[in-house]
Structure 1
Amino acid sequence: MKSAAERHLADIAEIYAHYVTGSVVTFELEPPDLPEWRRRFTAVTGAGLPFLVAEADGVVLGYAYCSPWKSRPAYRRTVENSIYLAPSAVGKGLGGLLLDELLERCAANGIREVIAVIAAPGPDNPSAALHRRRGFTEAGCLTGVGFKHGRWLDTLLMQRSLAA
């Protein structure tokens, strides 16, 4: 795992587009273009938050980052995490490695709470399972808050405290 750079953004955009168009794990309906990814990358890194990539032989296999949970100043030590893997990298433990590094960097940067918003929760949701294995606990469920691919979707809120 290493810090992402602007040169990784085209690969990141491609990975994310797969999930935007073919799944309900994100509530975006159109894949963001490269200028939008540059804006997001700059916002995350400009806020001093981690934006990571996992790559092998120069190919990005996945990425993870944290963004501010809310814009109000009282939330400044709380972030929301995002992790996406290339389809070929799913099921190989890479998501856990990315999340471990993300949590380490958040703790080093004084982040206190990390929130995961997991779409379409269910007993077999791999994202929920990954977060549980890394010490996240369920904080609540929002029902019917997203509409995508012809159906209403819930989100599971999970939280991990990094406070000592």
Structure 2
Amino acid sequence: MEVLDESIRPVTLDDAEQIAEIYNYYVLTSTITFEEEPVAPAEMTQRISEIQATPLPWLVATRDHRVTGFAYAHKWKARAAYRYSTEVTVYVRTGLGNSGTGSRLYARLFAALKAVGAHAVIGGVALPNEASLRLHQKFGFEKVAHFKEVGFKFNRWIDVTYWQLTL
């Protein structure tokens, strides 16, 4: 399912409410995120502001003024030697899976990361999540770690894999 007339642009604080709506669907219905309580738009505004205070990108995909997905990067670790390493994430509005939105967001995100000098890109995937595994593999990520039963949500233990791409 191709989403036509979709554009990708840098996030603005005005996007926070729609981003929270997209994200909270996954908070409440899946183990894709380990957050267990919905995130208020004000909290999402704060999170966006924190990324905007860095050179790292936060992008949104939109169609007809509606956010269809988002992707961003944040520091992998705080220590100075990690300054060229980032962790990335992408979320697509429910119902738009397999639309290509996630791929388009990641392609633009990785180009923006390369432009700011990022070197290592890391993505965490809570299992099971076949769509996310396929997306990371599509972009050339390699599996570098598998942590067993490190998350607990919806009354069950969850494994997490980590994937790495060198730009």
* Fold shared by both chains (TM-score > 0.5): yes
Which one-letter code corresponds to 2:81 in the other structure? A
Deviation at 1:35, TM superposition (A): 2.1
Matched, 1:6 2:22: no
Equivalent residue number for residue 91 of structure 2: 84
Which one-letter code corresponds to 2:142 in the other structure? T
> Quick one: distance in 2 between partners of 1:138 and 1:159?
6
The answer to whether the 8 Å contact 2:16/2:44 transfers is yes
Secondary structure at the aligned position of 2:32 is classed as coil
Which consecutive aligned stretches of 4+ in structure 1 deviate over 6 angstroms post-superposition? Answer: none
Matched, 1:95 2:102: yes
Q: Which ranges in structure 2 are unaligned for 5 or more consecutive residues?
A: 1-7
Matched, 1:26 2:29: no
> Quick one: distance in 1 between partners of 2:108 and 2:142?
19
Equivalent residue number for residue 133 of structure 1: 138
Deviation at 1:121, TM superposition (A): 3.9
Matched, 1:118 2:125: yes
The answer to whether the 8 Å contact 2:15/2:67 transfers is yes
RMSD across aligned positions (CA): 0.9
Matched, 1:160 2:157: no
Deviation at 1:116, TM superposition (A): 0.3
TM (norm. structure 2) is 0.93
Q: Which ranges in structure 1 are unaligned for 5 or more consecutive residues?
A: none
Equivalent residue number for residue 43 of structure 1: 50
Which one-letter code corresponds to 1:66 in the other structure? A
How many residues align? The count is 160
Identity %: 36
> Quick one: distance in 2 between partners of 1:94 and 1:34?
22
Matched, 1:144 2:149: yes
